[in-house]
Homo-oligomer: A and B are copies of this chain.
């Protein structure tokens, strides 16, 4: 799967959250990363080619006034020509996934009726969802990072994994898809360990595999019970 990450930020070098996310990009994956504002002029043909080539497109930006920064809107207004998106009833972006990674300076609970911001992220980003709808793309649940500056180290480690999964894991984010994603990456991670920890690594892998089998068995039992209830 090819993932295209389009980052919009007017001062990328000054953004600790964006630098953190850049350093968190998964290695050994087919990921194209691009910073929109770094380009002196947008090469429309190149941008459209990148979109055509990608299976998952991620728009990543800080929330400014309940929307993406002007740079991303400029990209939309320039690259997403009508002809490209739905001209002649051809939809080159159809069935591709559109994901949003948005950072905000407020806690998550601010984005609800009665909260400090009085608007949900879903409502604020509805125009982007409408673009996805128009292009016949599949909208992924928004990946929001609130108040990055206040995250503790364990939360940041969790963020790395969640972010990598958002970029590369099969959707929907089901237990099975999550297990498969970890199982695929575990052997590679263990290989990177220093020799004295290899044995521990292999034990973790065996334990993970055992747990996966246990969960599968439990899930099977559960569906059997459900079937009988339905009778």
Contact = CB atoms under 8 A, between A and B. Distances in A.
A141 to B, nearest CB: 18
21 contacts: A10-B77, A64-B76, A65-B76, A65-B77, A65-B127, A65-B130, A66-B131, A67-B127, A68-B73, A69-B77, A70-B70, A70-B74, A70-B76, A70-B77, A73-B73, A74-B74, A117-B130, A118-B130, A119-B127, A123-B126, A124-B127
Contacts of A159: none
A55 B172 CA distance: 49
Given A65-B73, A68-B73, A70-B70, 19 more contacts: A64-B73, A64-B76, A65-B131, A66-B126, A66-B127, A67-B67, A67-B73, A69-B77, A70-B76, A73-B73, A117-B134, A119-B126, A119-B127, A119-B130, A119-B133, A124-B126, A124-B127, A124-B130, A127-B127
A37 to B, nearest CB: 11
Contacts of A74: 70, 74
Contacts of A65: 73, 76-77, 80, 127, 130-131
Interface string A71-101: 1011011001000000000000000000000
A209 to B, nearest CB: 45
Interface string A174-211: 00000000000000000000000000000000000000
